[in-house]
Chain A
Amino acid sequence: MIPVELYIGLSVVIFSIGLYGFMTQRNGVRMLMCVELMLNSANINLVAFSSYHGNLTGQVFVLYVIALAAAEAVVGFAILMSIFRMKDMIDLDKINILRW
């Protein structure tokens, strides 16, 4: 039997990778991917807990999260597209006219 800590550990590691990528990547698309990574690590958690708890709430939640992730990604990509259209690049660390 696999202890639940391992699932959680996995998810935390993935989440941290997502965080790391989010902080270090310049490319907007990669950053979005990192967000997806984080959301999915949460999904791992949910599923693991769901099955360890023996109730399906977590799994239902996973479905919703997947849908939400999709919706979020759609909007995100749309914004990135607009930026790309305007600047011909999506290196987000160069987009900082709003500061101070």
Chain B
Amino acid sequence: MLLSLIVLIPLIFAVLTLLTKTREQARAMALVATVSVLLLTIYTYFNFDSTTAATQFEEFYSWVPSLGISYHLGIDGISLPLILLNAIVMPLLILFTWNDDRKAPNRFYSLILITQGAVLGVFCALDFFLFYVFWELTLIPLFFMVSIWGGPKKHYASIKFFIYTHVASLVMLLGIFGLYFAAWETTGTPSLSIPHLLAQFQFIESGITRDLIFLALLFGFIVKLPVFPFHSWLPDAYTEAPTAGSVLFVLLKIGGYGIFKIMLPLLPFTASPNLMITIMGALGAVSILYGAFLALAQKDLKRMVAYSSLSHMGYVTLGAAGLVSLSVSGAMFQQFSHGLIMSIMFMSCGVINKATGTRIINELGGLAQRMPKLAVIMVLTFMASLGLPGLTGFIAEFSVLAGSFVNLQGYVVIALMAIVITAAYHLWALQRAMFGVYKEKLGNVVDINGYQTLAMGVIAILILYFGLNPSPVLDMMLTNSEHIIGLMAGMGV
């Protein structure tokens, strides 16, 4: 029941929110929903056994028996941190937008809640059908979000995002079908249960089939992640989305989740695991470097942050391909950390854009003098984003780099090269936008308001806390990655 509640509360409240009339009602409704999810998640967290990689809090109801579809929920150490991340940031996001004045607030909050429900659904689903349903459900609210409240190129960006990622989902669906039928053939009964299908993968006789299934699934995940060269939807969508939309994109950690939950257990049983590792590692490493360079070349602050997101997500694939428990858990942690960091980054961009009317870095300047609170939070976050130790970004990056180096030396070298570039664009942006002489033509900007300070401040504190003490989430990730690696031991990978 617990997981069902976590997934369904946002969805139900989304409908209720849609029915509200005023902004006050809508935001209150959204806050109630997100806070209840947070409370439930915290309850779940404290009742979760992080020493085992087994699925917990399972729920199972048969749905379409003739096709082997069931309503099957459950969480493990891979999903719980991401659920936690989502549950934590969402109420803060509502708070962040608390005083925003925008058209159709009821729809706005409703879409936020749908996104939350869908993302949580993906994390909880243990049935491929359900998984795919939630997976696709994330598309729609985000599409609306970008289309309605987005920037000047919102229509282009939203359609591009929608279709691009939809194509990827469909390819993934093909992979799911392949797996489904191959397993159906071997076992004689249809089932879309994720654990079942993952276990059956190795019994597929044809190596080519296994590879194709793997690649199709991988494609779906890495486009969502995204990873070079399938990223071109990202800068547009991230940039054109409203601030809340960008944050929702950031919290859309389903691509990486799929890689850990689905790809890694399959990896050793593909016909050519080394090739797959090479693909994943190379894509990850190149993304890191490429995203960093691209971020450096951007003039728009938000676009820069978007590319930096691409760069950071490279660690996820790289770490996953590293196949050492430290690297895999580091990559999982990177997802968690990235969610926190990028949330603030995009919130900052939104605040700056709103206060000054521009996001072009060169047009900004000296904002720290007028927005000291924002400056403090931003400096902290930028430091976290460039991988400063003591903050979450470092834990993740170090774990990925150190762990992956055991198996993938060349790619780690590429990734290391990006670190300086990463630092460069972060600092460059900070210097141009926040420091230096205040540009009077920006007008009389005011600092972030109380709600925004609270929202960003809490996330900033979490970045610091988990940077100093990652164990609360990293332990369960480690348990799971050790489990996954343990499964692979002796597979010659």
> Is chain B in direct contact with chain A in the complex (CB below 8 A)?
no
Q: Which residues of A contact B (CB under 8 A)?
A: none
Residues of B near any A CB (own CB < 8 A): none
